[in-house]
């Protein structure tokens, strides 16, 4: 079973409160999401391996650590995932970015992939799938399935807020995927919104409502 990591650093929790607040305007919402994404990137990379190299300081030669040549890939799910992308790239500027676009078929209610563009060496990379809201888990599961079909094996999921239903669904479908969230909320309502949540992440990021 993949682990669920709640990134409960005080700075993340503080900023998340402003993100939740209905009075927060689009500009401030986007800035807070960007900042939380950077802070979460710090947590999600906690276990990436280091190697020791020799470096010459102004005083002496010494051994010191650098991130070993591990290659990372960031996979925002369109469109709300884009709101967290730049924040993660601030800490991981060498990561390559792939995009996955999904919409929900109104008849079957199943996610349908309408766009995918990935780095050519995606299967060699450790991937972080990014989506602010993990609600039913449908999009996350479909995106991860799509990546696995293309040979990807090392995948983590990063969300601002998750519903227990979505976490359970992803853990069931993809037990090898660890999920990092800033908050685990209470439940999904009858409209598929996370409660208490933050409303529609895409609309709040881009001012479309
Ligand atoms: N997507 C959102 O943007 N918000 C929710 O609460 C659930 C899914």
Q: pTM value?
A: 0.95
Separation of CA 93 from chain center:
16
Counting from 1 in the atom list of ligand 1, the atom nearest the Cα of 195 is 6
Contacts (Cβ under 8 Å, ≥6 apart) of 137 = 165, 166, 167, 168, 169, 170, 173
Q: Is 8 a catalytic residue?
A: no
Report the relative pairing of strands 126-130 and 154-162 from DSSP bridges. parallel
Q: Is the pLDDT of residue 70 over 80?
A: no
Would you say residue 69 has pLDDT above 90?
Answer: no
pLDDT of 209 above 90: no
Residue of 103, 182, 194, 195 to test ligand 1 pocket, by largest number of atoms within 8 Å of CB: 194
Looking at residue 137, its pLDDT comes to: 96
- Fold classified for 2-204: Rossmann fold (3.40.50)
Torsion of CA 144, 170, 177, 197, to 10 degrees: 100
What is the per-residue pLDDT for 105?
A: 83
46 given a catalytic annotation: no
From 198, 207, 209, the mutation candidate for ligand 1 (largest count of ligand atoms within 8 A of CB) is 198
pLDDT value of residue 91: 93
Q: Is 165 close to ligand 1, i.e. is its CB under 6 Å away? A: no
Which of 108, 145, 153, 185 is catalytic? The answer is: 108
Q: What is d(CA 141, CA 184) in angstroms, rounded to the nearest whole number?
A: 18
pLDDT of res. 142: 97
Confidence category of residue 156, pLDDT binned at 50, 70, 90: very high
Q: pLDDT band at 174, cuts 50/70/90? A: very high
Position with higher pLDDT, 36 vs 108: 36
Active site residue 104: yes
pLDDT in tens, 89-148: 999 999 999 999 999 887 887 899 999 999 999 999 999 999 999 999 999 999 999 999
- In angstroms, what is the span from residue 42 Cα to ligand 1's centroid? 24
Report the alpha-carbon angle 171-116-203, nearest 5: 75
* Residue having the nearest C-alpha atom to atom 3 of ligand 1: 200
Tell me how far the alpha carbon of residue 203 lies from the centroid of ligand 1, in angstroms.
Answer: 10
**Ligand 1 site, residue 201, Cβ cutoff 6 A:** yes
ipTM of the predicted structure? 0.96
Q: Is the pLDDT of residue 61 over 90?
A: yes
């Amino acid at each position: 079973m993949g682990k669920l990591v709640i990134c409960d650093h005080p700075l993340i929790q503080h900023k998340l409160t402003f993100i939740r607040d209905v009075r927060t305007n689009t500009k401030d919402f986007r800035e807070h999401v960007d900042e939380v994404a950077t802070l979460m990137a710090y947590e999600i990379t906690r276990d990436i391996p280091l190697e020791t190299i020799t470096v010459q300081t102004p005083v002496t030669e010494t051994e010191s650590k650098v991130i070993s040549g591990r290659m990372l890939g960031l996979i925002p799910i369109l469109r709300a995932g884009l709101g967290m992308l730049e924040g993660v790239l601030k800490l991981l500027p060498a990561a390559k970015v792939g995009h996955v676009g999904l919409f929900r078929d109104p008849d079957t209610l199943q996610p349908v992939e309408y766009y995918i563009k990935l780095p050519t060496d995606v299967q060699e990379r450790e991937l972080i799938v990014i989506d602010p809201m993990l609600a039913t888990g449908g999009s996350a599961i479909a995106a991860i399935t799509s990546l696995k079909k293309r040979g990807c094996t090392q995948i983590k999921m990063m969300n601002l807020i998750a519903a227990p239903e979505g976490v359970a669904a992803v853990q069931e479908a993809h037990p090898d995927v660890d999920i990092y969230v800033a908050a685990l909320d209470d439940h999904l309502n009858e409209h598929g919104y996370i409660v208490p949540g933050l409303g529609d992440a895409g609309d709040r990021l881009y001012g479309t409502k």
